[in-house]
Structure 1
């Protein structure tokens, strides 16, 4: 999961430049349609993702019949770069965005709806469509996505005679039984940033909690679970400082028998001696459907003012979510295809992704309810988590206190 909230407050200021950038440019900021070249901007600037994504981009470039001029920037710099490019009328022809950013940029008028180009958006998981939809229009497609699950140390659970937990009560019981010496039963990220909010969402959503009312009993009950795990000693108090990478390190070092994390950690775990498996995030009561957040990127067509280029860019975006590209990207990067008819076939190819694939079927977009107002709710969530786990507020009062800033 990646999330960069950089100068979002300035997005409103950028509305006019973004709208103007679609007008009066003549041939557009780039000359993609005219000279057979498309400019592409994304944040896959580290290996192996950079090379793996280049292979998919090159495949679609050949399919569409264009050359690519690709630029990559760090994830934390992408939104700032987009805003700068909009003001200088140099938006790329194809823009990759983290899915929670799509609605914010679409709201400025900076993206072209895919319906303008008759792109078929049927057959995709509802979560990715919700993430890419603004005012009833779909602005992008994502080839593959991620979400969260519960990893567990197979040997540790077998030695303790414990089955992977499916409910919160089972999670608490298993975590307590697995805690011994310098090993905690479970680890998760409760850090004061978007990673902390992201990891809390499966517990909040599955329990019926909603970001439109963070003071509900259902939200408080989910937070109480995390408080109980820490207060009982089954989870480290340091969870308030751990990023998801830190959680993975604890698990890989044998200092946590279970962890909440995502499939992007699988390559690193493959380099360790830990035998792990995964299940969906436990639910409060048996029979509930686990609902986790959807992570991943969306490919969009910016408003450059060049209609011919935009049409080619839309064809390119459609190719990036073709069945062949989806399967290739998902398999190489431990993601899950967004086309629902591919998921079962994918799990047969990559069985270790089974739990995450099931989780994706019911995964939810973070911006589905609040749209561009999601960052404000996310901030309240991670502030409340910090207040409750550190004992500064009860789980019942933490969200009210956090919302008052």
Structure 2
């Protein structure tokens, strides 16, 4: 899961604010004024294997199907937005642009992307949360072939030896985590780091409890924050959660220093590589039995920049239709431990990938981070992780944390 950094988004906002027109470059993709669409340029941030190779296979398949050659440029995730801005100013925007889904509305708001409806791309059948992430002011600008989210992983042997089952509610999470805490082993691990990663991990607790990013200083949000504080203050979670990214959380779980963890399915290849580790996963616990778990959607959108080259844009639209088609969704999801974004594919997918059942269930009710606030989401995310840090370090009470975070 790619979580954008605060620096990355701040840099984008600063530049976009002074030059919003730059992204509506008139030159064609790859710098040509026009063309027959036989060669397309594409930019993404899948720069690590096996993702890089798996995405390339899917790109090659779709390129062959629509009869084009694709020149692919892969950049580090933290550099993608800056690279897009540089290319827009030199009129060399790619014909196909992949964006982390929370970035899409920021780019679309500048006029830099073409609505998919301009090219009759079929957007029916996609999960509503993912459509929300790809929508700006009523128009769909991007589609994602797969998605990811968060769940609760647990060490089967540790829980079985203690005669415990995976927790479903917050109360069960607290009592189970406390019972599993001993010596150097904590009951549960999660990421409360002062980045968007910490806000991302908090959202399932906040949203499931009825909280909203539009009213951060609410009772529901404070209750979710109190849960995290209770886990840390009781010793059931390490005080170091304020410094842990999701990779660190995974390391704690794999080393046996945490019996449970909040994390995503992108960690499954590493977990499965350790044959001595027996693990399972369930949806993120809810405050009260009967609540529907709601978690954030991760995943990347594939978009068509406004290059001014209609022939290439039409071919880019064909590529996106292929890249988000049922067969591509299933193959990418199976290979990459992600979830198809069309709910009708869920049953077939889970039959192939039973380890992904909890995450597939979680995706059915997952929500876009930008669905409520749109371009204002980064500000809310910053206040969320700031409030978490204030509360967990004792610099503010839970009751004061969100209000204090809002003051900057």
TM-score range relative to shorter protein: over 0.9
Question: Is the contact made by 1:30 and 1:92 (CA closer than 8 Å) also made in structure 2?
Answer: no
5 Å matches for 1:206-355? 206-272=208-274, 273-355=276-358
Structure 2 residue aligned with 1:17, among 22, 26, 30?
22
Q: 1:250 to 1:32 in 2, by over 3 A?
A: farther
Alpha-carbon offset, residue 14 of structure 1:
3.2
> Residues of 2 paired with 1:138 and 1:35: CA distance?
23
> Residues of 2 paired with 1:11 and 1:4: CA distance?
17
Question: Is the contact made by 1:31 and 1:38 (CA closer than 8 Å) also made in structure 2?
Answer: no
Question: Is the contact made by 1:30 and 1:93 (CA closer than 8 Å) also made in structure 2?
Answer: no
- Stretch deviating more after TM superposition (10-19 or 135-144): 10-19
Question: Is the contact made by 2:191 and 2:244 (CA closer than 8 Å) also made in structure 1?
Answer: yes
Question: Is the contact made by 1:3 and 1:100 (CA closer than 8 Å) also made in structure 2?
Answer: no
> Residues of 1 paired with 2:395 and 2:178: CA distance?
24
> Residues of 1 paired with 2:191 and 2:161: CA distance?
26
- Stretch deviating more after TM superposition (269-278 or 324-333): 269-278
Q: 1:48 to 1:31 in 2, by over 3 A?
A: farther
Report how many residues are paired.
402
Q: 1:209 to 1:55 in 2, by over 3 A?
A: same
C-alpha RMSD over aligned residues: 1.2
> Residues of 2 paired with 1:121 and 1:269: CA distance?
35
> Residues of 1 paired with 2:19 and 2:335: CA distance?
36
Q: Name the counterpart of 1:401.
A: 404
Alpha-carbon offset, residue 81 of structure 1:
0.4
> Residues of 1 paired with 2:196 and 2:29: CA distance?
39
Q: What is the DSSP-based 3-state SS (H/G/I as helix, E as strand, rest coil) of the residue aligned with 2:188?
A: coil
Alpha-carbon offset, residue 29 of structure 1:
2.6
Alpha-carbon offset, residue 32 of structure 1:
8.0
Q: What is the DSSP-based 3-state SS (H/G/I as helix, E as strand, rest coil) of the residue aligned with 1:295?
A: coil
Question: Is the contact made by 1:32 and 1:93 (CA closer than 8 Å) also made in structure 2?
Answer: no
Deviations 1:211-269 (A, max 9, x none): 00000000000000000000000000000000000000000000000000000000111
Q: What is the DSSP-based 3-state SS (H/G/I as helix, E as strand, rest coil) of the residue aligned with 1:12?
A: helix
5 Å matches for 1:193-212? 193-212=195-214
Residues 1:138 and 2:143 are matched in the alignment: no
Alpha-carbon offset, residue 13 of structure 1:
2.3
5 Å matches for 1:55-74? 55-74=57-76
Q: Name the counterpart of 2:386.
A: 383
> Residues of 2 paired with 1:32 and 1:144: CA distance?
32
> Residues of 2 paired with 1:35 and 1:214: CA distance?
47
Alpha-carbon offset, residue 31 of structure 1:
7.1
Question: Is the contact made by 2:28 and 2:307 (CA closer than 8 Å) also made in structure 1?
Answer: no
Deviations 1:66-108 (A, max 9, x none): 0010000000000000111111110000000000000000000
Q: 1:378 to 1:181 in 2, by over 3 A?
A: same
> Residues of 2 paired with 1:346 and 1:30: CA distance?
41
TM-score normalized by structure 2?
Answer: 0.97
Question: Is the contact made by 1:179 and 1:234 (CA closer than 8 Å) also made in structure 2?
Answer: yes
> Residues of 2 paired with 1:277 and 1:345: CA distance?
20
Q: What is the DSSP-based 3-state SS (H/G/I as helix, E as strand, rest coil) of the residue aligned with 1:270?
A: helix
Structure 1 residue runs without a partner (length 5+): none
Q: Name the counterpart of 2:44.
A: 42
> Residues of 1 paired with 2:29 and 2:46: CA distance?
28
